[in-house]
């Protein structure tokens, strides 16, 4: 079994290409994952798609055949040639794949180092795949170690202190341009996580917000939040064209599969406007208007690089933690085979039986002549006793819950004192079911 990750990110792929690669709806994602795991060499798959990256995470039996199949499917999905995709992609295998996964989950590979959204996005991608049967034990192991690694980095470093996001960087850029946002009115389009973050940052800078969304009830729910109340008004999506021609600032972060602000919506005005498009795919079309300045995600890199330098020392410590967790993960994997555990259980039973047999003979409770027949009875007894536990261990060894059970057995029988995952290695799905 091998791990593979094929990565397209802000580091190696421009925004136009990332748009073509992005997975914008559940149906498309589900169909793509099914086509992957239907291949005989691909066991499990997860697709992560955000404004900054597309990551395909696989557990495979054959690296070369699986990679070729993946690039073929990505080419069909994106309408880009296989050659172009291979030229852009970073491909990670085994240790490199696990190290990269831990970096992504811990936000060290993010455009904004230390941002906190990526861990949640990765959990959602994992949950989506797990619930539909596209990933199971192998990727579950890696994902939960990744979440554990990210948690330690958050708790033991300051890299996520005063967390920064693309939304906060966009607001910071607007503040740099205008000098002060107090008293300004900004339009925020969308009601997802990025839109909410942008709204909060704008309000904290004294800016009034017009929240535009197709679902007005959802917009009202956001506007009624106690820390936003009185600073956020809602407008129907039907008034978007009118509104964008009245104000200087616009922040767009919808989940629309196509642009929602087009050239024909823009009217000539006597003031400059600044549109911040933090969606993927982009919400704002090429407007070709010198009085409307559009910033996409990649255009915010100057502020993001400043953020990176400020966090450089913390990042060094975080990378050290990731290196340790990568080694620990593979060391832990090597302890999970059930056959050595079954052998150890039988050896312990045999040693206890023989010890008691020798004691009985030494004390005169048993004649030496009966040694072999009693030895055979004891052997049959502990074999019969261990038959059901042994059978169940072998039956569940490839199921997601196996690792937690194996760790529990190891602890109960004193096999390998270093227990890694009891009560920690548990799929999100299992946790939710247990809570119900």
* Residues acting as catalytic residues: 51
Sequence-separated (6 or more) residues with CB below 8 Å from residue 381: 353
CB 172 within 8 A of CB 301: no
Residue 121 bridge partners (DSSP): none
Helices 26-37, 63-78: crossing angle, 10 deg rounding: 150
Alpha carbons 57 and 284: distance in angstroms, whole number: 30
- For tokens 């052998």, the residue is 343
| Cα separation, 61 vs 68, whole angstroms | 13
**Dihedrals phi, psi of 129, to nearest 5 degrees:** -70, -40
Among 56, 60, 62, residue whose Cα is nearest residue 44: 60
């Amino acid at each position: 079994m091998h791990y593979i990750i094929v990565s397209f990110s802000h580091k190696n792929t421009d925004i136009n290409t990332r748009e073509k690669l992005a997975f914008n709806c559940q149906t498309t994602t589900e169909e793509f994952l099914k086509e992957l795991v239907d291949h005989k060499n691909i066991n499990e798959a997860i697709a992560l798609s955000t404004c900054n990256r597309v990551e395909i995470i696989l557990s495979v039996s054959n690296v070369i055949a699986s990679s070729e199949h993946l690039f073929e499917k990505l080419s069909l999905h994106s309408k880009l040639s296989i050659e172009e995709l291979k030229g852009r992609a970073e491909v990670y295998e085994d240790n490199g794949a696990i190290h990269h996964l831990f970096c992504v989950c811990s936000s060290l590979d993010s455009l904004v180092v230390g941002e906190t959204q990526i861990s949640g996005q990765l959990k959602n991608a994992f949950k989506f795949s797990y619930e539909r049967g596209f990933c199971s034990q192998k990727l579950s192991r890696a994902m939960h170690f990744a979440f554990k690694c990210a948690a330690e980095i958050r708790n033991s470093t300051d890299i996520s202190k005063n967390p920064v996001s693309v939304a906060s960087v966009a607001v910071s850029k607007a503040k740099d341009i205008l000098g002060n946002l107090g008293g300004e009115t900004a339009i925020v389009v969308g009601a997802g996580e990025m839109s909410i973050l942008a709204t909060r940052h704008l309000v904290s800078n004294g800016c009034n917000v017009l929240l535009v969304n197709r679902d007005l009830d959802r917009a009202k729910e956001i506007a009624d939040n106690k820390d936003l109340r009185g600073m956020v008004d809602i407008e129907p999506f039907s008034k978007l064209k009118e509104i964008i021609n009245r104000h200087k600032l616009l922040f767009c972060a919808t989940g629309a599969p196509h642009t929602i602000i087009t050239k024909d919506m823009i009217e000539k005005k006597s003031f400059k406007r600044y549109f911040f498009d933090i969606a993927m795919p982009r919400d704002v079309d090429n407007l070709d208007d010198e009085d409307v300045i559009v910033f996409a995600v990649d255009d915010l890199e100057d502020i993001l690089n400043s953020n990176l330098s400020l966090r450089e020392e913390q990042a060094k410590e975080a990378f050290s933690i990731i290196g340790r967790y990568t080694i620990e993960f593979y060391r832990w994997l090597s302890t999970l085979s059930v056959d050595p555990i079954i052998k150890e259980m039988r050896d312990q039973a045999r040693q206890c039986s023989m010890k008691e047999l020798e004691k009985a003979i030494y004390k005169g409770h048993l004649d030496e002549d009966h040694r072999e027949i009693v030895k055979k009875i004891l052997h049959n007894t502990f074999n019969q006793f261990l038959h059901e536990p042994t059978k169940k261990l072998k039956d569940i060894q490839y199921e997601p819950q196996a690792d937690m059970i194996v760790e529990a057995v190891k602890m109960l029988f004193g096999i390998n004192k270093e227990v890694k995952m009891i009560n920690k290695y548990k799929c999100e799905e299992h946790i939710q079911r247990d809570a119900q």
